[in-house]
């Protein structure tokens, strides 16, 4: 069983279901509304936990009803919440999601307490890092907190995974401490300047990331699949073909599931990637973020069909 610590965001998601995305200045009626626990960090943690990883979380919520909801959701999924601080000055993060009838979404995020996560908060929960197999981070919390988490991880021989989303300029020191980076095709292009079109462009991207200090790469390419490149080789793994109804947590489900199965030396990356692809394919067939994330049993059963 892998031990996975997530340093990341906790949001309450509000989803509005619409026929299509509105044009600038246009008003559309929503056909449905729902709220659920979410945030990239929370999604990845729940995915890891449901796939059997011993999961801990380092993050921040407001001292409000939304914060209590997030803590309850994490606990209900067996996640260690001792590293989540309650902030009595700033509210819990929120996400507003527009979801069209084709399952595509647009998301607006209010960071709230997520943006208050500091290196000191990370240090206060460093035992969650030093005892882990993997530390996973995204960019819905400050990079300074990620940097401190990765420093502590590397000082203790713990592997690090960076999901550079939302895409932004990355502190070079964070990249130097990253063992595996997992962008989607758009994020990869923004970080390297190389537009993903084929295997050649993916290999060029891998070389660019290696120059930045990251030697292991997975680029997710939506419904097409995922490309990986490590020091031992590379390959493109096609996605499983399904009818998507909501892609909101697809990438987060992939990363959490992957972290639960991957060996820290990356030696089983292809097998772990196939498992993560299957988890993601199940998630997009259901509505919502956390509610759509499958369990290990569901993922393995799908593989037998």
Catalytic residues: 252
136 is in an annotated binding site: no
292 is in an annotated binding site: yes
140 is in an annotated binding site: yes
77 is in an annotated binding site: no
Residue 13 near residue 289 (C-beta atoms within 8 A) = yes
222 is in an annotated binding site: yes
246 is in an annotated binding site: yes
Paired with 62 in beta bridges are: 87
248 is in an annotated binding site: yes
CB atoms within 10 A of CB 75: 12
216 is in an annotated binding site: no
In angstroms, the CA 86 to CA 65 distance is 11
In angstroms, the CA 221 to CA 277 distance is 11
In angstroms, the CA 198 to CA 19 distance is 32
| Rounded alpha-carbon distances, angstroms, from residue 166 to 111, 163, 183, 211 | 12, 9, 9, 21
223 is in an annotated binding site: yes
| Rounded alpha-carbon distances, angstroms, from residue 25 to 28, 30, 130, 215 | 10, 16, 50, 45
43 is in an annotated binding site: yes
- Characterize the bridge pairing of strands 11-17 and 93-99: parallel
40 is in an annotated binding site: yes
188 is in an annotated binding site: no
In angstroms, the CA 17 to CA 103 distance is 9
In angstroms, the CA 50 to CA 54 distance is 9
256 is in an annotated binding site: no
65 is in an annotated binding site: no
221 is in an annotated binding site: yes
Helix residue ranges per DSSP H, the chain: 40-50, 65-76, 119-124, 127-130, 143-155, 172-176, 185-192, 199-212, 250-261, 269-283, 296-304
64 is in an annotated binding site: no
How far is residue 152 CA from its own chain's centroid?
20
What residues form the annotated binding site for ATP?
Answer: 184, 220-225, 251-252
What residues form the annotated binding site?
Answer: 11-13, 39-43, 140, 184, 220-225, 246, 248, 251-252, 283, 286, 288, 292
What residues form the annotated binding site for K(+)?
Answer: 246, 248, 283, 286, 288, 292
């Amino acid at each position: 069983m892998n031990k996975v610590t997530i340093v990341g965001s906790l949001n309450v998601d509000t989803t509005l279901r619409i026929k299509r995305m509105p044009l600038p200045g246009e008003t559309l009626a929503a056909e449905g509304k729902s709220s659920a626990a979410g945030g990239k960090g929370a999604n990845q943690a729940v995915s890891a936990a449901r796939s059997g990883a011993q999961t801990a979380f380092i993050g921040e919520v407001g001292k409000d009803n939304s914060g209590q909801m997030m803590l309850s959701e994490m606990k209900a999924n067996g996640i260690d919440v001792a590293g989540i601080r309650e902030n009595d000055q700033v509210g819990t993060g929120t996400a507003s999601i527009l979801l069209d009838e084709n399952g595509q979404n647009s998301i607006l995020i209010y960071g709230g307490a997520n943006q208050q996560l500091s290196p000191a908060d990370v240090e206060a929960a460093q035992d969650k890092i030093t005892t882990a197999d993997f530390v996973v981070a995204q960019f819905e919390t400050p990079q300074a907190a990620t940097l401190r988490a990765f420093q502590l991880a590397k000082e203790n021989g713990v592997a690090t995974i960076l999901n550079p989303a939302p895409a932004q300029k990355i502190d070079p020191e964070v990249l130097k401490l990253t063992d595996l980076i997992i962008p989607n095709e758009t994020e990869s292009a923004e970080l390297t300047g190389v537009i993903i079109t084929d295997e050649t462009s993916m290999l060029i991207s891998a070389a660019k990331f290696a120059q930045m200090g990251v030697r292991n790469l997975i680029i997710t390419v939506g419904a097409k699949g995922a490309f990986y490149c490590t020091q031992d080789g590379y390959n493109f793994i096609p996605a499983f073909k399904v009818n998507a109804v909501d892609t909101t947590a697809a990438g987060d489900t992939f990363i959490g599931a992957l972290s639960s199965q991957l060996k820290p030396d990356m030696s089983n990356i292809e097998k772990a990637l196939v498992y993560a692809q299957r988890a993601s394919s199940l998630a997009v067939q259901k509505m919502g973020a956390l509610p759509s994330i499958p369990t290990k049993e569901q993922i393995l059963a799908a593989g037998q069909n």
